[in-house]
Homo-oligomer: A and B are copies of this chain.
Amino acid sequence: MGEKRYQRKIYLEDKPRAEALQEILEAARLAPETEIIPTVEALGRVTSSPIFASISMPHYHASAMDGVAVNAEDTYEAHEQRPLHLKKGSQFVYVDTGNAIPQGFNAVIMIENVQILDEETIEIIEPATPWQHIRPIGEDIVQEEMLFPQGHVLRPADLGALLAAQVTQVPAAKKPLVTIIPTGNELVQADDRLPYGKIIEFNGTVFANYIKEWGGEPVLTGIVRDEPENIKAALLQAAEVSDIIVINAGSSAGSKDYTVHILNELGTVFTHGVATRPGKPVILGQIANKIVVGVPGYPVSAYLALEWFVRPLICQYLQIPVPKRQTLSVKLGRRIVSTMGAEDFVRMNIGYVNGQFVANPLTRAAGVTMSLVRADGLLVVPPEQLGYEQGDMAEVELLKPLEDIMNSIVFCGSHDLTIDLLSSQLKTQRSDMKIVSSHVGSMAGVMAIRKGEAHIAGIHLLDPETREYNISYVKKLLSGQDVVLYPFLKRTQGWMVPKGNPLDIKSAADLAEKEAEYANRQKGAGTRILFDLLLKEQGLAPEQINGYDREMFSHLSVAAEVKGNGKAAGLGIYPAAKAMGLDFVPVGDESYDLLMTRAFFESEKGRWLIGVIQSESFKAEVDKIGGYSVVSNAESLLLDGQK
């Protein structure tokens, strides 16, 4: 393989996305297939031709009331002073709502306005006007009326109208069959044992479910090994049965990226590379009139490429427009830098704080599936734009309902495992509320409160001078702001080391001495500040710590890092060490408090949150984890910096 390995022959294009799409849409212009399906099974299906009513609804003159049918002319003499008697059969008949009006009658009198004298006779005191309380033929639907044009997506009420018009079968666009081919030697199925160095194949399931949501019929094949012959066979087989083919990974220009060569051999390549970040390494081509979309392996790039190219193909097949997402105008909490000449797709967190929508970018790494899960919106930066400044307003496409965003409590700051518990308990009591958290460290948490980007921040900031937690930082950084510091937890920090503590780490000095591979936290994290203080106390410089520059964003990340490496160590909280099966050498207890504005503290959301924190059930859950004590009878500290 060595000799083939680095023969990099091709470079990716930077074709504008719209142009690349237009080419495949034109190449795919085939007459879509249609099928006749029972109306009762047609929910969500798309009509392939206009549909006309077979019968009228009602298909007879129907009584709109419970009462008696009469001939209006027979009633003209009726008057309060001169009650009129009518005879059953010849002059009236009883009708219920929906009953047909018998021949010879042309009005209905409500039963409330009828006096029943005997089995055969009624009395009325008011004349009827012709056609009163009668639903005429076709009041709802008229026979031969067009009920729906083609291209209509059938909703529940639509099915009712069809059945009412006796249309029991409908012509529908056949769902396009989309074959999904996952490729890669490193892939294994999720239900297999997971060997070291292998990756679970999950993109295929994601694709299949998006395609289902978009109206296609997905078929997910087994994993295909990275061998040209296997890939060729899979593509040819898919081309026989599918309307669209999606092949995952191998779409770039590396040595094992065979797809583009195979596609060139079997059919046509329209595009190799689009001007987008992420998602650039896309292949668009055709085998035997079937469009092939080759998407990158990194999940975020993959899903974006699927949406850009496969969704419009499905919609064109179904003859429906591509639905657009709701957009929202947001204020940007951070500067966003974009590539000139390429569209940038930035996943965003959005918070509704102090009456405005504030958005911040999530990680831009294309390999982070969770950034798609967590994203509230998508910021699309056009190719000609270099980005945005902090504080700029921008339009984002919403990935979640606006309501979800408005009902979320935005948590920012230091990572603690109890925040998830808190979110879960809150949701039990208020299914419409939840906590959305980003772990950016204590200092960033304080700044988020200051800038109005979060509702609440978890902080544990040790003041080296006063040896007190949090208060001095808040006073200094939030001077003049009306905030509340709510005492939340006491928790134990300590050295997280592999099971058995092979290097026998007991102090910062041990880390240096025994050349441990230290996993540090990011700047501004409370744990980093504590570590720096511990170093200083022992007269150590950062350079003496192996791995000081390696930054992790949560206790669990540090623990995960330590777990795999016998020489590793980290500083963090007990429950993280416990979760990963590590040993833990306590360093000391610290105060982990919740910082919020007074406005939030006193708001409905704030009151619910504090209610959950103070509940016995939450305390019991926290006790189960261990290493914590919830501060009982907490008295919140009102910190108005002016004082």
Contacts and interface: CB of A to CB of B under 8 A. Distances in A.
Nearest to A560: B138
B159 A100 contact: no
Contacts of A401: 323
Interface residues of A, number: 123
A481 interface: no
Contact of A143 (B141, B365, B423, B560): B560
A67 to B, nearest CB: 10
Nearest to A201: B163
Contact of A98 (B130, B186, B190): B186
Interface stretch (A368-376, A380-388, A455-463, A465-473): A368-376
Contacts of A100: 196-197
A500 interface: no
Interface in A192-229: 194, 196-197, 199-203, 205-207, 209-210, 212-213
A190 B39 contact: yes
A139 to B, nearest CB: 7
A194 B403 contact: no
Contacts of A59: 194, 196
Contacts of A119: 2
Nearest to A143: B560
Given A369-B157, A370-B141, A403 B323 contact: yes
B326 A139 contact: no
B137 A561 contact: yes
Contacts of A159: 202, 205-206, 209
Contact of A164 (B144, B147, B156, B369): B369
A439 B256 CA distance: 63
A207 B401 CA distance: 24
A368 B191 CA distance: 52
A135 B186 CA distance: 16
Contacts of A158: 373
B370 A161 contact: yes
A629 B457 CA distance: 73
Contacts of A210: 156
B130 A549 contact: yes
A140 B547 CA distance: 21
A573 to B, nearest CB: 13
Nearest to A148: B373
Interface stretch (A484-492, A503-511, A551-559): A551-559
Given A39-B190, A142-B554, A420-B50, A94 B135 contact: no
A374 B266 CA distance: 48
B60 A140 contact: no
A212 B150 CA distance: 24
Interface stretch (A230-238, A338-346, A424-432, A526-534): A424-432
Contact of A94 (B5, B99, B203): B5
Contacts of A372: 157, 160-161
Contacts of A255: 66
A111 to B, nearest CB: 6
B197 A156 contact: no
A285 interface: no
A626 interface: no
Contacts of A213: 43, 156
A303 B157 contact: yes
A547 B64 CA distance: 20
A500 to B, nearest CB: 19
23 contacts: A5-B94, A6-B111, A43-B213, A137-B560, A138-B556, A139-B367, A139-B368, A140-B368, A142-B557, A143-B556, A143-B579, A146-B424, A147-B373, A149-B423, A156-B209, A157-B206, A157-B299, A157-B303, A158-B373, A159-B206, A163-B201, A321-B403, A326-B402
Rank and list the top 9 A-B pairs by shortest CB-CB distance, nearest first.
Answer: A321-B432, A163-B202, A100-B197, A156-B209, A160-B206, A146-B420, A144-B579, A138-B560, A142-B556
Given A61-B564, A156-B207, A157-B373, 7 more contacts: A142-B559, A143-B579, A146-B423, A149-B427, A155-B209, A160-B203, A164-B369
